[in-house]
Chains A and B, each alone.
Chain A
Amino acid sequence: MQTLFNIVVFPGILYILAWTVLLFWFFRKFMAALHKRVGPSFNGPMGTYQTLFDLSKLLTKESITPKGVNPYLFSLMPLLALSIAILPTALIPWTPDITVAKSSYGLLGLVVLIGIEPFILFLTGFGSNNKYSFLGGIRILTQMISMETSFFLAALSPAILFSTLNLNSIIQQSSWLSFAILLPGFVLYFIALLGLLEQPPFNIPDAEQEIVYGFYTEYSGTNYFLLKVSEFSEFMAVFAGAVTLFLGGYKGLFFDGFSFLFAKMLIVAMIMMAIRASTPRITMKQMLMFSWKYLVPLSLVNIAWIMIAKILFFGGM
């Protein structure tokens, strides 16, 4: 019974749908505020129903399969993308009690599942029979290779510091001191996160002005809905990962709980949106240069710093 509840309601399908609706609304509203606009406003209180309508519409609209594509590949990929994007939620300790799949190797599962997602998106672009989609697919593959190196290295730092891959015990052991030690790691994780989620300044794979919409270009209706939900559940996995690894997860000021985790995730989302509203996109070349010249070496330096800090503050344990 408990498992069924977990799969269907929390932190399963319903939770992800609710998260998608809410975060989509939050993004639009926050972005609008930075644009000096109002954002969705007339549908429901503060326009909260708007994204619900948007996603419901996408779900029931005609899904076009373009001429010349393999229909199975074309329609299967969004489904696969969604299921892979949902999986990490099972590993994350949402509250002290709720973790769907308790595992001592939670961190490993998390980064691998997050890391495999861009590859599926590449296949969506590859299977669309559209020049722009194909270019988007190639771009996302390039970005994945260069960004995930530092993403993995940054995610490794709490594991080294606390000598565990168990996400729950990482949270249990975290403190203000460990937060300070992990701060450089968090910054690196955050930058790599922007690259993984295709957010500005790294929104190169779906750059509207250059290659229309990248791998999304040919997707419509239900297929696009699936891709959109998978995009938002990837957001959730990555944000929750950031909060769990670096910001103390569900730990709160006076009591522990899901609300603190959620608030921290929204803060990460807000920083991401503020960057989105003030930073133009960079080019592929600059992204590669930045990643391999600065980000990866810095991640290695960060690992060294974690090791030194561990000896200094935790006595090498």
Chain B
Amino acid sequence: MLKILDFFDYAKSESLWMAHFCTGCCSLEMAAAMGPRYDWERYGYMPTPTPRQADILIITGLVTKKMLPALLRTYAQIPEPKYILALGACSFDGGPYNDSLAVIKNPTEILPADVFVAGCPPKPEAIINGMEEIKQKMKKGVPSAASQGGLWKEMKF
């Protein structure tokens, strides 16, 4: 019995579908990662049209104040277990938009990410590597960071 459950856990970690949601410019490199040269489908990643069937949410770079409620709502719509990949400098500290009026400087303090990928924008290889790290975390059974805490639980969305 235990073996069967292990198999399903393994299956979960090997099949990551991402919600189709762009918050910023890194989505351009994400498109390149889906493209012929980098082709992340080799590893089993696939975009899904609706968050209901997704496993991970990708914060593609900057998050503006206006976008945040939509981001949180999308995150809430994803079924458990769910993980978050944060791309680019913007999702860590605002990056080049740190002084901007409208960009949130600490989106991952609000919605903690499991894996950060550096770069502005990160290269497709780096994005795939970030996804692989999420796989490793899932295999080790590390619970997702957003389920552990974060400001998002106190916010309206």
* Residues of chain A whose beta carbon lies under 8 Å from any beta carbon of chain B: 28, 32, 35-43, 47, 49-50, 52-54, 56-64, 208, 212-213, 216-221, 224
Contact = CB atoms under 8 A, between A and B. Distances in A.
B39 interface: yes
A56 B36 contact: no
A49 to B, nearest CB: 8
B43 A37 contact: no
A216 B50 contact: yes
Given A36-B36, A38-B39, A43-B44, A53 B11 contact: yes
Contacts of B41: 28, 32, 37-40
27 contacts: A35-B36, A36-B36, A37-B41, A39-B42, A42-B42, A43-B14, A47-B44, A50-B15, A53-B14, A53-B44, A56-B11, A56-B15, A57-B8, A57-B15, A60-B11, A61-B80, A62-B79, A62-B80, A62-B81, A63-B79, A64-B52, A64-B79, A213-B48, A213-B49, A213-B50, A217-B50, A220-B79
Contact of B42 (A40, A54, A63, A64): A40
Contacts, number: 90
B7 A212 contact: no
B31 to A, nearest CB: 13
B42 A56 contact: no
B1 to A, nearest CB: 14
A38 B15 CA distance: 17
Interface of B: 7-8, 10-12, 14-15, 17, 35-36, 39, 41-44, 46, 48-50, 52-53, 55, 77, 79-81
Contacts of B53: 58, 216, 219-220, 224
A208 B20 CA distance: 11
Contact of B43 (A42, A58, A61, A221): A42
A54 B44 contact: yes
Nearest to A36: B36
Contacts of B12: 56-57, 60-61
Contacts of A28: 41
Contact of B79 (A54, A208, A212, A221): A221
Given A53-B15, A56-B11, A60-B12, A224 B52 contact: yes
B52 A219 contact: yes
Which 8 A-B pairs rank lowest in CB-CB distance, beginning with the nearest? Answer: A56-B11, A62-B79, A220-B52, A53-B11, A41-B42, A54-B15, A53-B14, A208-B49
Given A56-B8, A213-B49, A40 B44 contact: yes
Contacts of A212: 49-50
Contacts of A39: 39, 41-42
B11 A57 contact: yes
A63 B52 CA distance: 9
Nearest to A28: B41
Contacts of B46: 54
Interface centre among A39, A61, A64, A208 (most CB of B within 10 A): A61
A37 B39 contact: yes
Contacts of A58: 53
A301 B15 CA distance: 49
Nearest to A60: B8
A212 B20 CA distance: 10
Given A50-B15, A60-B8, 11 more contacts: A35-B36, A38-B42, A40-B42, A53-B11, A54-B44, A58-B53, A64-B52, A213-B48, A213-B50, A217-B49, A217-B52
